[in-house]
């Protein structure tokens, strides 16, 4: 494992003045991996990224990139690329000059410069825009310029801050596949920061879920989606029915409820709405809300366990508001949580 | 009827009052007569030409130009880093710094001039030229800080971070990325500072010595003694100079965006 | 990258030190002179100053003229600003430009023009004699009237500009709405326009008032050596009487007025930022 490690953060601690933002963070990334830092705003993901880039000095811990301790290396010597959420293009320069900036800093000139910039612009499909003012382009185009600007210098690590959040829905899909393509083509190690679990699941090889300046769970998209380690992660990836477990019984509203089958030895269990069985089972509840969403129908039930959210095939006959419905929380499909609260 | 006339009539009277006197001065400067009068007696360029022949005007024009250009440059050299610090850093004592650099706009100029005379020129022997320079620099500082701060506020801080990440040093990032983008603001600050300094009277009142006197002070002295149209001619020339500069600035820089 | 506060302070320090050293220190020293008498803190300079009839006259004249200029500027300013705001956009821009234009011209030049107009052989006197209202030229120059006119012309643009921006921020259609509800023009002004543009009026008024209080050129040129205002009195005290203590007293009065006005303006600005 360790000889494969490309970037490692060891006990990294970050603070703004006296406010701690990240505490004792440990994380390793392998070469060529596409890692997502996922979490709600204020969880420390962007701060972590800024520290890796060298825009902020850690109060403790170590950052090692490609075998070299870069903790105290200034940002301009780290060879790390960063695509800012705002793109941060230089307003006074053309698209060409924006992309050429980093190369010029490395002393690349003349034909070599032109070739490299044009290759970079070509890879993001903006070659014909080379002489435009960078800030005259649309948001999506600006992002591609920013991406090309960061990639032409062939950084050891490319980081992207919320790369899709400023784009509209269609552009978002395009950009997603473009990022994947570029990563596969170049084999570049990438980290991107996002608050959107859908993005993280779709793009990343590995996801780090953060909360309050600490790591909540690290895993593959499948791990995170199917086997959330904590109630926080479960909630974040769409498990809407989450319960504590004590002595094999569900705890809700201070009362214990026995489930139909034997429970695993875990502090909690979680079900997605689609995992709840409606129409049969040991529990029952009153329909509080119904919402139709194409192929499925969603329900909110008022039950002794508290509100339960369920989704069933929309082809089945609908329950009406106020109707009593039997339901089950099948233990077999539930995700066992390792930590609750 | 009255309502329909209200707008044009009001505007006409207002403009007559605001601009009219200035037009009279312009007309009077082309007079052929010996004394200042309106309507002017005849038409000639003699007073316009005479202005250029008066030695003391030439000298004081030089002093005023030196102060306006030098003082503004000095104010920018002090003011740009200060504006940068105030807009980018969470500064300790931020309010104190802000208060100090904006104070010269609040304290009447005559007091500044007097204070410098009494505590620097007389006891320490500071030269009048230096005192004038210092006073004009201080006077322009608040304008420089205000205008430069406004254009820094319109520039995202992360483009500098982007430049640094792409391999530029901190200082290099400032010169390559920040400066080119606030150039308009800096030029506007320069013009505002220049005009303010050039037209300034009270600060310079007490600060004059042999051969060292600003142009407006020289004009005040001249008009007390001589009642010919040369002051009118000089006033017109200066006014057109100021207006010309400001117009050019508006045209090429969009001056009013910054001021 | 910008977390290093010491670095930030180092950048701001030259300007702050410069202002403190060449500005704050000498001004504070000058002001302190008015409160000291042979190593003792005292108010005697102020008692002396106000015990002299001339000083009292000048002080009151400065207050009176400043107030009068402010008041008249407000009245004219409302009419002018209202007329300008009702113009179509292009004409409005040009008109605002014309109002601002005089601010770029040297106040010496602007004030000097009034000598041509108000002097013994000036336009006004020529006109009065021509229509036979008077045989002798009447004395307008070197009087309070002349100073009043000069100050009004100098500072009116500031009032107009403040009121233009206030009037432009007037909610749309409130004036027609009030008219439809049967209000006459006078009550529209008192009940609608004035309350809604109060801030602009205070801003413009403060600028005009402090500008007039601390004016030097206008009273120097149009008031002569007899009709003094505070700044011309200060100048005389120093150059004629060599009385630095009296100068310090006047300086203190001027600074207090200036600071008071500035604090008022800051209050308005911050109240506006926080959404009223």
For residue A274, is pLDDT > 70?
yes
- Pairing status of strand A324-328 against strand A306-313: unpaired
| A61 vs C175, more confident | A61
Would you state the pLDDT for residue A253?
81
Would you state the pLDDT for residue C228?
94
Encode pLDDT of A137-193 as tens digits: 998 899 999 999 999 999 999 999 998 887 888 888 888 888 888 888 888 999 999
Buried b (16+ CB within 10 A) or exposed e, C204-243: bbbbbbbbbbbbbbbbbbbbbeebbbbbbbbbbbbeeeeb
For residue C19, give the nearest of B88, B101, B232 by CB distance.
Answer: B101
Question: Would B245 be classed as within a structural domain?
Answer: yes
Question: Would C114 be classed as within a structural domain?
Answer: yes
Mean pLDDT for A297-320 is: 92
Percent of chain C with pLDDT over 70: 98
Question: Would C120 be classed as within a structural domain?
Answer: yes
Contact B161 A84 (CB under 8 A): yes
For residue A105, give the nearest of B90, B159, B167 by CB distance.
Answer: B167
Question: Would B3 be classed as within a structural domain?
Answer: no
Mean pLDDT for A274-284 is: 91
CA A177 to chain centre: 16
Q: What is the Cα–Cα distance from A313 to A295, expressed in whole angstroms?
A: 6
CA A99 to chain centre: 27
Question: Would C89 be classed as within a structural domain?
Answer: yes
Sheet arrangement for strand A5-16: A19-30, A5-16, A60-65, A68-69
Would you state the pLDDT for residue C276?
42
Question: Would C249 be classed as within a structural domain?
Answer: yes
Q: What is the Cα–Cα distance from C63 to C61, expressed in whole angstroms?
A: 5
For residue B22, give the nearest of C12, C25, C110 by CB distance.
Answer: C110
Residue in B with minimal Cα distance to A106: B167
C12 token code pair: 């701001």
Domain with CATH 2.40.50.140 in chain A: 240-337
Q: Other C-beta atoms within 10 Å of A264: how many?
A: 11
Greatest mean pLDDT range, B140-144, B232-236, C197-201: B140-144
Q: Other C-beta atoms within 10 Å of B173: how many?
A: 24
Encode pLDDT of B70-126 as tens digits: 999 999 999 999 999 999 998 888 889 999 998 888 899 999 999 999 999 989 889
Question: Would B223 be classed as within a structural domain?
Answer: yes
Encode pLDDT of C127-178 as tens digits: 888 888 888 888 888 999 999 999 999 999 999 999 999 998 888 788 888 8
What chains are in contact with A, requiring at least 3 Cβ pairs below 8 Å? Answer: B, C
A57 has a chain C CB within 8 A of its CB: yes
How many domains does chain B fold into?
1
C-chain residues within 8 Å CB-CB of A75? 1
Domain range holding B163? 54-257
The CA distance from B213 to the nearest CA of chain C, in Å, is 15
Task: List the single best residue of A92, A97, A120, A143 to mutate versus B (max B Cβ within 10 A).
Answer: A92
Contact B166 A149 (CB under 8 A): yes
Q: At what angle do helices C244-273 and B94-106 cross, to 10 degrees?
A: 120
- Residues A16 and A179: beta-carbon distance below 8 Å: no
C217 token code pair: 């050129």
Question: Would C257 be classed as within a structural domain?
Answer: yes
Residue in C with minimal Cα distance to B10: C80
Question: Would C224 be classed as within a structural domain?
Answer: yes
Question: Would B230 be classed as within a structural domain?
Answer: yes
Residue in C with minimal Cα distance to A17: C3
Encode pLDDT of A23-53 as tens digits: 999 999 999 999 999 999 989 999 999 999 9
- CATH number of domain containing C210: 1.10.3720.10
Encode pLDDT of C104-132 as tens digits: 888 888 888 898 888 887 888 888 888 88
Domain range holding C231? 45-169+198-273
The CA distance from C234 to the nearest CA of chain B, in Å, is 9
Would you state the pLDDT for residue C101?
86
C-chain residues within 8 Å CB-CB of A57? 3
Residue in B with minimal Cα distance to A151: B166
Encode pLDDT of A186-227 as tens digits: 889 999 999 999 889 989 999 999 999 999 999 999 999 999
Question: Would C233 be classed as within a structural domain?
Answer: yes
Residue in A with minimal Cα distance to B171: A76
For residue A267, is pLDDT > 50?
yes
Contact B110 C234 (CB under 8 A): yes
For residue C15, give the nearest of B79, B236, B243 by CB distance.
Answer: B79
Question: Would C219 be classed as within a structural domain?
Answer: yes
Residue in B with minimal Cα distance to A78: B165
The CA distance from C195 to the nearest CA of chain B, in Å, is 22
Would you state the pLDDT for residue C186?
85
Q: What is the Cα–Cα distance from C199 to C215, expressed in whole angstroms?
A: 24
Confidence of residue B257 (pLDDT cuts 50, 70, 90): low
What chains are in contact with B, requiring at least 3 Cβ pairs below 8 Å? Answer: A, C
How many domains does chain C fold into?
1
Contact C1 A75 (CB under 8 A): yes
What chains are in contact with C, requiring at least 3 Cβ pairs below 8 Å? Answer: A, B
Domain with CATH 3.40.50.300 in chain A: 2-234
Q: Cα-Cα-Cα-Cα dihedral of C113, C117, C123, C124, to 10°?
A: 160
- Residues C207 and C135: beta-carbon distance below 8 Å: no
Contact B161 A75 (CB under 8 A): yes
Could you tell me how many CB contacts below 8 A there are between chain A and chain B?
63
Would you state the pLDDT for residue A209?
95
Mean pLDDT of chain B: 90
Task: List the single best residue of C2, C3, C5 to mutate versus A (max A Cβ within 10 A).
Answer: C3
The CA distance from A29 to the nearest CA of chain B, in Å, is 21
Mean pLDDT of chain A: 91
B-chain residues within 8 Å CB-CB of A82? 161-162, 165
Query: Hey, what CATH topology would domain A2-234 get?
Result: Rossmann fold (3.40.50)
Would you state the pLDDT for residue A2?
44
- Residues C12 and B79: beta-carbon distance below 8 Å: no
* Residue B82 CB partners (closer than 8 Å, separation 6+): B97, B101, B145, C11, C12, C14, C15, C16
| Reported CATH class of domain A240-337 | mainly beta
- Residues C160 and C99: beta-carbon distance below 8 Å: yes
Question: Would B186 be classed as within a structural domain?
Answer: yes
Task: List the single best residue of C109, C124, C186 to mutate versus B (max B Cβ within 10 A).
Answer: C109
């Amino acid at each position: 494992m360790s000889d494969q490690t490309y970037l490692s953060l060891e006990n990294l601690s970050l603070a703004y003045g006296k406010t701690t933002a990240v505490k004792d963070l440990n994380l390793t990334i392998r070469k060529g991996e596409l890692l997502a830092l996922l979490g709600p705003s204020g969880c420390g993901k962007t701060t972590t990224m800024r520290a890796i880039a060298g825009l902020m000095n850690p109060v403790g811990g170590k950052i090692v990139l490609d075998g070299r301790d870069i903790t105290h290396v200034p940002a301009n010597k780290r060879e790390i690329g960063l695509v800012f959420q705002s793109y941060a293009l230089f307003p006074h320069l053309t698209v060409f000059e924006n992309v050429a900036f980093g190369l010029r800093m490395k002393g690349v000139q003349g034909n070599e410069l032109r070739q490299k910039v044009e290759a970079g612009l070509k890879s993001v499909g903006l070659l014909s825009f080379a002489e435009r003012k960078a800030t005259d382009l649309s948001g999506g185009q600006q992002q591609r310029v920013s991406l090309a600007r960061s990639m032409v210098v062939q950084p050891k690590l490319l980081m992207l801050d919320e790369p899709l959040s400023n784009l509209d829905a269609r552009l978002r899909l395009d950009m997603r596949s473009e990022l994947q393509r570029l990563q596969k083509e170049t084999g570049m190690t990438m980290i991107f920061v996002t608050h959107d679990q859908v993005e993280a699941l779709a793009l990343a090889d590995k996801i780090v879920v953060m909360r309050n300046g600490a790591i909540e769970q690290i895993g593959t998209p499948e791990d995170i989606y199917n086997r959330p380690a904590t109630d926080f992660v479960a909630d974040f990836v769409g498990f809407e029915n989450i319960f504590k477990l004590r002595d094999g019984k569900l705890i809700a509203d201070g009362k214990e409820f026995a489930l139909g089958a034997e429970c695993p030895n875990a502090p909690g269990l979680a079900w997605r709405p689609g995992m709840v069985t409606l129409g049969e089972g040991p529990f029952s509840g009153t329909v509080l809300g119904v919402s139709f969403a194409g192929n499925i129908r969603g329900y909110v039930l008022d039950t002794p366990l508290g509100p339960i959210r369920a989704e069933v095939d929309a082809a089945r006959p609908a329950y009406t508001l106020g109707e009593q419905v039997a339901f089950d929380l099948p233990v077999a499909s539930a995700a066992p949580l390792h930590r609750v609260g | 009827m009255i309502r329909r006339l209200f707008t044009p009539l009001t505007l006409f009277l207002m403009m007559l009052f605001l601009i009219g006197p200035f037009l009279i001065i312009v007309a009077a400067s082309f007079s052929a007569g010996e004394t200042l009068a309106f309507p002017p007696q005849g038409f000639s360029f003699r007073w316009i030409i005479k202005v250029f022949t008066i030695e003391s005007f030439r000298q004081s024009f030089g002093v005023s130009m030196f102060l306006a250009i030098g003082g503004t440059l000095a104010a920018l050299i002090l003011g740009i880093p200060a504006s940068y610090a105030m807009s980018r850093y969470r500064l300790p004592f931020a309010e104190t710094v802000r208060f100090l650099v904006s104070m010269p706009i609040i304290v009447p100029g005559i007091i500044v001039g007097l204070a410098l005379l009494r505590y620097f020129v007389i006891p320490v022997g500071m030269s009048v030229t230096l005192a004038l320079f210092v006073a004009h620099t201080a006077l322009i500082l608040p304008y420089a800080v205000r205008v430069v701060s406004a254009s820094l506020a319109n520039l995202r801080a992360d483009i500098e971070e982007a430049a640094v990440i792409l391999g530029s040093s901190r200082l290099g990032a400032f010169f390559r990325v920040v400066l080119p983008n606030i150039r308009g603001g800096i030029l506007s600050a320069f013009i505002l500072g220049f005009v303010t300094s050039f037209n300034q009277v009270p600060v310079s009142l007490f600060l004059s010595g042999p051969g060292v006197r600003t142009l407006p002070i020289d004009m005040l002295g001249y008009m007390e003694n001589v009642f010919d149209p040369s002051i009118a001619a000089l006033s017109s020339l200066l006014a057109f100079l100021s207006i010309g500069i400001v117009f050019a600035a508006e045209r090429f820089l969009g001056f009013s965006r910054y001021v | 990258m910008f977390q290093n506060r010491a670095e930030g302070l180092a950048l701001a320090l030259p300007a702050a030190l410069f202002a403190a050293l060449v500005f704050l220190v000498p001004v504070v020293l000058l002001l302190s002179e008015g409160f000291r008498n042979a190593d003792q803190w005292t108010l005697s300079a102020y008692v002396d100053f106000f015990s002299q009839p001339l000083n009292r006259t000048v002080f009151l004249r400065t207050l009176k003229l400043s107030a009068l200029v402010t008041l008249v500027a407000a009245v004219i300013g409302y009419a002018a600003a209202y007329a300008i705001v009702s113009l179509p956009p292009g004409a409005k821009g040009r008109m605002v430009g014309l109002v601002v234009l005089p601010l770029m011209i040297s106040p010496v030049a602007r004030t000097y023009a009034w000598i041509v107009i108000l002097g013994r052989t000036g336009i006004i006197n020529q006109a009065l004699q021509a229509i036979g209202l008077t045989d002798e030229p009447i004395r307008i120059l070197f009087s309070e009237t002349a100073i009043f006119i000069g100050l009004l012309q100098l500072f009116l643009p500031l009032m107009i500009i403040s009121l233009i921006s206030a009037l432009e921020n007037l909610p749309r259609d409130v004036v027609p709405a009030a008219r439809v509800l049967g209000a006459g023009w006078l009550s529209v002004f008192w009940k609608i326009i004035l309350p809604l543009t109060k801030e602009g009026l205070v801003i413009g008024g403060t600028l005009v008032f402090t500008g007039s209080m601390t004016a030097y050129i206008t009273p120097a040129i149009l008031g002569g050596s007899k009709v003094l205002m505070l700044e011309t009195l200060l100048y005389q005290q120093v150059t004629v009487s060599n009385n630095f203590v009296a100068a310090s007293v006047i300086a203190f009065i001027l600074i207090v007025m200036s600071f008071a006005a500035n604090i008022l303006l800051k209050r308005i600005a911050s109240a506006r930022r926080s959404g009223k």
